[in-house]
């Protein structure tokens, strides 16, 4: 569930599109999950089976998922006035004198999405675990957000959420996704 939430959030910020995977099946997110699983499987494989014609498709589906993801990101790059016009995707694509080729840009965006989704969901899981072990901190965070003028945190309020920021920093220190 957290992976789906983070995937929806990152896709909206980076690409201007909400997968909507919390409410319905998302073929785009499913392709990402298939691709991730294929990459982890390939990393631990005793031999490079994916180089044998047909075996990669038979065993992991990673190549097909990757092709669909590349096609999707290319379509977003080709639509400068679409919903992605004010996103990370648009900013990277419009940099003058950019040193990245289109293929490198697409690859980096897919990597950004996958890495961000995975690490964010792990970090959120750890934060929720630590908060469940410390109900007094949980109450302080809830009170901090409730004391905001609108009762909802926005980007403008982030600097004033000292307890919330401390919880995230401590979670990253104690239970970091990276070694």
- What rounded mean pLDDT belongs to the chain? 79
Provide mean pLDDT across the span 87-114: 72
Residues 64-99 pLDDT 10s: 777 777 787 777 777 666 655 566 666 666 665 667
Secondary structure string (H, E, C) spanning 28-72: HHHHHHHHHHHHHHHHHCCCCHHHCCCHHHHHCCHHHHHHHHHHH
pLDDT of residue 167: 96
pLDDT at 14: 75
Quote the pLDDT of residue 34.
74
Half-sphere exposure of 45 (CA within 13 A, CB side): 16
**pLDDT by residue (tens digit) across 2-26?**
878 888 888 777 777 777 777 777 7
List phi, psi (to 5°) of 138. -60, -45
- Residue 110 reports pLDDT greater than 60: yes
pLDDT (tens digit per residue) in 34-53: 777 777 787 888 888 778 87
* Distances in whole angstroms, Cα of residue 48 to Cα of each of 45, 56, 101, 132: 7, 9, 27, 43
Contact 50, 132 (CB under 8 A): no
Considering only residues 100 and 8, tell me which one the structure prediction assigns the higher pLDDT.
8
Encode pLDDT of 124-143 as tens digits. Answer: 999 999 999 999 999 999 99
Q: Does 177 have pLDDT greater than 60?
A: yes
């Amino acid at each position: 569930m957290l992976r789906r939430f983070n995937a929806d959030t990152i896709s909206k910020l980076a690409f201007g599109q909400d997968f909507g995977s919390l409410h319905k099946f998302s073929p785009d997110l499913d392709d990402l999950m298939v691709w991730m699983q294929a990459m982890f499987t390939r990393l631990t494989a005793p031999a490079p089976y994916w180089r044998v014609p047909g075996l990669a498709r038979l065993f992991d589906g990673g190549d097909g998922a990757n092709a669909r993801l590349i096609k999707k990101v290319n379509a977003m790059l080709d639509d400068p006035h679409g919903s992605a016009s004010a996103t990370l995707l648009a900013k990277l694509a419009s940099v003058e004198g950019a040193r990245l080729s289109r293929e490198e840009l697409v690859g980096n965006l897919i990597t950004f999405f996958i890495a961000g989704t995975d690490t964010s969901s792990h970090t959120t899981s750890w934060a929720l675990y630590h908060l469940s072990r410390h109900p007094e901190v949980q109450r302080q965070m809830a009170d901090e957000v409730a004391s905001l003028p609108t009762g909802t945190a926005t980007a403008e309020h982030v600097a004033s959420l000292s307890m919330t920021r401390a919880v995230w920093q401590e979670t990253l220190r104690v239970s970091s996704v990276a070694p």
